[in-house]
């Protein structure tokens, strides 16, 4: 885990190969309910065949329980990276690539995020910024990889180039 505090990580600090690990967080059933209804993963009236809301239906499909929506897991990458302290000098989120969901996550599972800097470059139009791409690997409490992907951000430089 990073020893730096929130906001202390600039573009210059993010060399290719540098890694970070987040603490674990629990995804609660309440969070799954809120996310599912807020984003339309749940129907306001009928959830009989909804693996995100209906545990009995999910079990009938051979799952352990209802499943945390994949895009909710993507949202947790932001939360977990924030717990590391990466966002203090981020100016822009530029995009996600190659997101894969490899194992289901269930309510009350714990997840953590391993992050590696896989690319960095100067920002073409702004001498005070650089672009950093992170490789994300999210694991559950059993150390199973549940999500992988890459995300790119524009970071502020400590000293303009």
d(CA 158, CA 139) in angstroms, rounded, equals: 32
pLDDT in tens, 100-123: 999 999 999 999 999 999 999 999
Rounded to two decimals, the pTM is: 0.90
Q: Which domains does the chain have, with CATH numbers?
A: 1-27+68-161 (3.10.129.10), 28-66 (no CATH)
| Residue that wins the pLDDT comparison between 86 and 5 | 86
The DSSP bridge pattern shows strands 25-26 and 129-140 to be unpaired
**Within 13 Å, how many C-alpha atoms sit on residue 156's CB side?**
10
CB 134 within 8 A of CB 78: no
């Amino acid at each position: 885990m990073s020893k730096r505090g929130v906001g202390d990580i600039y573009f210059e600090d993010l060399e290719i190969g540098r890694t970070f690990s987040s603490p674990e967080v629990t995804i609660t059933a309440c969070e799954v309910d809120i996310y599912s209804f807020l984003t339309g993963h749940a129907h306001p009236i009928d959830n009989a065949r909804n693996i995100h809301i209906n545990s009995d239906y999910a079990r009938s499909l051979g799952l352990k329980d209802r499943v945390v929506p994949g895009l909710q897991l993507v949202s947790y990458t932001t939360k977990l990276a924030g717990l590391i302290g990466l966002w203090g000098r981020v100016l822009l989120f530029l995009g996600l690539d190659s997101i894969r969901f490899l194992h289901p996550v269930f309510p009350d599972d714990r997840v953590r995020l391993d992050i590696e800097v896989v690319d960095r470059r100067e920002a073409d139009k702004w001498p005070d910024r650089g672009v950093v791409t992170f490789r994300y690997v999210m694991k559950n409490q059993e150390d199973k990889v549940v999500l992988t992907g890459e995300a790119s951000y524009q970071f502020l430089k400590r000293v303009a180039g």
